Amino acid sequence: MTPLTSFRNPDTTPLRVVLPLCLLLTAIGCTRTGVRGDSYVYGSRSQADTTGTGRIYFGREIGSVTAHAGGAEWMQQQDRDTAELPDRLVENLDLKQTDVVADIGAGTGYLTLRIAPVVPYGKVYAVDIQPEMLDSIRVAVDSLHLTNVQTVLGSDKSPNLPANSTNVALMVNSYHEFYYPWEMMHAIFGALKPGGRVVVIEYRGEDATIDLSPLHKLTEAQIRKEMEAIGFEYRNRRDILPRQHFVVFQKPFGSEVP
């Protein structure tokens, strides 16, 4: 999916608390960025990185979306099994057989198809913003005769899931590409049941030996900063994957969405 080209917030009233940061960002070729009430003012970079969108969120440039054309083959490459250890990842989700899991940015269903058998009395929402990805998942689901997978066409601001419906929201190598992360994570917050978990899997931004664009990696500190700003509570991290962070957050109890 080609990222949108227009992302200016229509309300451009300056914020006094953001102004010093704006001046700094302007000096390095960026517009201002900051929080205003329940909305987020995204910054922009005059010249985007070749793997980025030019949008600035909490000091980082948002990475470009991995499109179905070309990306689908990468998502299914065989060495992912040894490079990312998906079975270990799923095992450490600590799922109950009745859990409802949202695979956000499901792609071709690489994780969806592994999770579905673990929640036979629950459900997996396979969420993606590219219809071609969902088509691939439906073909695989039919071939495996899985009955507890529901594909969902999300938008760049919402996974389009029912409120208070989900036990676990999983994001594997996808969060860094959210075009509207502030809005998307608020929508995911609303879709989770109180006490529900968000599991963020991202390549480690601290590791310079990982041969990926810095825009397609995240540090643990950056992940925590962005999740906690939404209202998620940090729960733990698990150092179980060779090259990726496994960081868990929780929606506080008592935070139902009407």
pLDDT one-digit tens code per residue, 136-170: 999 999 999 999 999 999 999 999 999 999 999 99
pLDDT of residue 170: 98
* DSSP string computed for 55-84: EEETTEEEEPP--HHHHHHHHT-TTHHHHH
Burial (Cβ within 10 Å: 0-12, 13-18, ≥19) of residue 80? middle
What's the token pair of residue 7?
Answer: 């992302």
What are the CB-based long-range contacts (under 8 Å, 24+) for 141-146? 141/109, 141/113, 141/116, 144/113, 146/113, 146/116, 146/117
Which of the residues in the chain have pLDDT under 70? 1-33, 37, 67-78, 257-258
Helix axes 181-191, 220-230, angle to 10 degrees: 60
pLDDT of residue 30: 53
pLDDT of residue 32: 58
Which superfamily, per CATH, for 68-250?
Answer: Vaccinia Virus protein VP39 (3.40.50.150)
Give the whole-angstrom CA distance, residue 181 versus residue 227.
10
pLDDT of residue 79: 76
pLDDT tens per residue, range 12-26: 334 344 434 444 444
pLDDT of residue 69: 45
Q: Which residues contact 194 (CB under 8 A, 6 or more apart)?
A: 164, 251, 252, 253, 254, 255, 256
pLDDT of residue 75: 47
* DSSP string computed for 154-178: --SS-----TT-EEEEEEES-GGG-
At which residue do the structure tokens 């689901």 appear? 141
Give the whole-angstrom CA distance, residue 95 versus residue 90.
8
pTM of the model: 0.83
pLDDT of residue 256: 74
Q: Where in the chain are the domains?
A: 19-63, 68-250
